Structure 1
């Protein structure tokens, strides 16, 4: 029996690398930072970093940051995600399930974490945008990371994978930096948003991918 299982599900180096670098290591970093946040510990570099970033503010950068924070927010990502979900549902339902659990699940997880940690937002200068929920982790960073990671996984076996990877990482990175520039998050909020979104989607992928393969085999 064990021989049969090992033949059907070989332990692949790529899967191990994804597990370690994409899930375990990010969660260890998030756990370490989350402990500091729960204990209300002040992380020394964060306020000076934000103030140094704000010192380079210009009207043009203000507008760019506002645009990026809009594009990376739920008002834009949610409708696009719903459209992708509908298209996948019409064409390949196992992928639709993966997409829905990845993106919607990341949003739900972010809400739970905000309620749990309830970290106040930075108050270092008069902000261009007002946010009234908790700061940790950054919802924009987590949504965009989950959206981008799921999109990259969908595109990975297509000719568009490198385009999706480069544009996706650039987009999610720019969204997170816009939140720091606007002073609505601490750096650790953004980093943990990115890492949690990444780990969540890769975890969902690891669980649901065998189901998708099984349905393909049945259909064949």
Structure 2
């Protein structure tokens, strides 16, 4: 008996776009990480930091200090626990699993990466806040971007999706900028943080997409 030939299903445009976004983010992170591993300086880092330091207003300085606390573990750890729990107890189990894996995966990955690369923090001027530990990637930026992306996924089929996209993008950008304004991260640290979140959230979404949307990959 001759078996029927195996038919490969053609990926949907959505699947192709997700895969392209995942691979592009992963490649961009790898390029940054390779230079950090080899301790190669980035030409953009110090000029951008010094320009921001020279042109930072009192408003941005105070906002950056606030975001240092708001985006830190004291606030973010309870929030990262609360979001999956609320989804779980409201019987949105696939969404709860997605939020837990994406948010805690991003937070955990950046913690591990810091210890792998051990990049020293910049010391171009006395910072307004005390930060210790390695610099690459930025944890505040990683978690902010992960929250943004998870909110977009959870709200995509609701009337609030564009609000999530725009407000989340602004929040992530301001959080990333605040880390450079404070002088506790290089610009490449915050870019790497956003890329870390993209890789983790997109990866988890692709893994759980059929559960979340009911669509075939």
Corresponding residue pairs, total? 210
Corresponding position of 2:93: 93
1:1-58 Cα shifts (integer Å, max 9, x gaps): 744x73xxx51112211211x2111111110110100001111221121011100123
Corresponding position of 2:190: 190
Distance 1:212 1:52 in 2: 44
- Contact 2:151/2:164, CA 8 A, preserved across alignment: yes
> Which structure's residues are more often helix, by fraction?
1
1:84-119 Cα shifts (integer Å, max 9, x gaps): 211111121111111000011111101110000000
1:64 aligns with 2:44: no
Distance 1:75 1:153 in 2: 25
Distance 2:59 2:187 in 1: 22
1:109-133 Cα shifts (integer Å, max 9, x gaps): 0111000000000000000111111
Matched position secondary structure for 1:55: helix
1:156-210 Cα shifts (integer Å, max 9, x gaps): 0111000000000110110000000000001110001001101210110000122
- Contact 2:60/2:178, CA 8 A, preserved across alignment: no
Query: Which moved further from structure 2: 65-74 or 121-130?
Result: 65-74
Distance 1:52 1:111 in 2: 29
Corresponding position of 2:72: 73
- The gaps in structure 2 that reach 5 residues or longer are none
Distance 1:15 1:66 in 2: 40
Q: Over aligned residue pairs, what C-alpha RMSD do you find?
A: 1.7
Distance 1:66 1:180 in 2: 11
The alignment's TM-score, normalised by the length of structure 1, stands at: 0.90
Query: Which moved further from structure 2: 64-73 or 92-101?
Result: 64-73
Deviation at 1:213, TM superposition (A): 5.4
Corresponding position of 2:139: 139
Corresponding position of 1:121: 121
Corresponding position of 1:171: 171
Corresponding position of 2:29: 30
- Contact 2:18/2:206, CA 8 A, preserved across alignment: no
Deviation at 1:59, TM superposition (A): 2.5
Deviation at 1:212, TM superposition (A): 4.2
- Contact 1:74/1:143, CA 8 A, preserved across alignment: no
- The gaps in structure 1 that reach 5 residues or longer are none
Shift in alpha-carbon separation, 1:62–1:210, aligned structure 2, 3 A: same
- Contact 1:140/1:175, CA 8 A, preserved across alignment: yes
Deviation at 1:60, TM superposition (A): 2.4
Query: Which moved further from structure 2: 172-181 or 87-96?
Result: 87-96
